[in-house]
Amino acid sequence: MLDVQKNKSLKPYNTFSIDVDADYFAEILSEQDLKDVLESDLIKQQNLLVLGGGSNVLFTKDFDGLVVKVSIPGISNVVEGNEVIVTAGAGVIWNSLVKYCVQNGYAGIENLSLIPGTVGASPIQNIGAYGVELKDVFKSCTAYEIATSEKRVFNFEDCHFGYRDSVFKNELKGQYIITSVSFRLSTSAKINTQYGAIQEELKNKGIDAPTIEDVSNVVSEIRVAKLPDPSTIGNAGSFFKNPVITKDEFETVKLAHPNVVNYPAPDNKIKLAAGWLIEQCGFKGVVAGQTGTWKNQALVLVNHGGATGAEVYSFSEQIINDVDAKFGVKLEREVNIL
């Protein structure tokens, strides 16, 4: 029997540690649990919010409705020559999946080590870091339509992946709940060390021929050095997307700011480093009431203990306005605001 709780605190379920309540709360441990919820009268009467690890959300008020916490476990794999299809339940912690794959020699997601959140959120966000995106290894995902409780499998083409984007954030937003994701990995590693920080750390360690374990370890060390641990200080990782602009727009920015940090992006565009833009506006390590930016990475907004979601949101608005005034570039929040 599915347990639905009333007036549930969501503080333990969001990495910002914002203290808000949900009218109703249900934890999903299986596809049958999900079907039970979707076919219940409760879901027809309430606003619905689906939570994974709560690492990409900022609550600005109590949630008036039903929160469904997806905690479906399990990892399995099928080996076919050099290819490995790894399937994980939507509730599996993302970094637990990365560790599983690295330990078994399944290459492809080692650069995505220590990204917070759960497997179910990974295709929604098209998570990425250090030269790799989820779409590079995605095979398919299983999801249930909220309106009909019918099961559907989405393949790569169905998902319309973009930079930190997918069909689940656009035309199908709020229509499906993902229960499992399958990844196309390999037992024959193609090591990706194109990011300078990875190359530098490997060089410092004297590693000339890195394994996927070496890459995973180095990426983890870089992230730990840059990012605060949500268990000790509330945060949701990178709060803003790295802005992608046209070459003409880039030339305008570069003319006024020759040292602007940039990278090539698809479709002949240029990606700017949001953290660098924010830091140039003087926000790195700033404390504003109970919120602020992290001392080692201006891209990360933090809760120093008692911040409200509204306070964090207001501070983020100040950053957006200052970056726009200085660079003529409009930052976009990566975190979902509720």
- Given the DSSP bridges, would you call strands 138-145 and 151-155 parallel, antiparallel or unpaired? antiparallel
Residue type, 316: S
Interatomic CA distance for residues 106 and 127, integer angstroms: 19
Task: Catalytic residue, from 213, 279, 311, 334: name it.
Answer: 334
Please measure the distance between the N-terminal and C-terminal CA atoms of the chain and give it in whole angstroms.
Answer: 29
User: Which position has the token pair 């037992």?
Assistant: 187
Using the structure block, give the residue that is written with the tokens 């700017």: 272
CA dihedral defined by 28, 96, 226, 317, rounded to 10 degrees?
-20
The angle at the Cα of 228, spanning 242 to 165, to the nearest 5 degrees, equals: 30
Handedness of CA 312, 318, 321, 323 (dihedral sign): negative
Q: Of 94, 75, 105, which Cα lies nearest the Cα of 214?
A: 105
**Residue position matching structure tokens 């565009």:** 269
User: Does the annotation count 317 as an active-site position?
Assistant: no
**Tokens, residue 189:** 């590693």
Q: Is 334 an annotated catalytic residue?
A: yes
Concerning whether 238 is annotated as a catalytic residue, the answer is yes
Answer yes or no: are the C-beta atoms of 307 and 234 closer than 8 Å.
Answer: yes
Q: Is 275 helix (H, G, I), strand (E, B) or coil?
A: helix
User: In the beta sheet, which residues pair with residue 79?
Assistant: 84
Of these residues, 110, 164, 166, 216, which one is catalytic? 164
Q: Of 55, 182, 238, 316, which one is the catalytic site residue?
A: 238
Nearest CA to 338 out of 43, 90, 6, 16 is that of: 16
Length of the chain: 338
Active-site residue list: 164, 238, 334
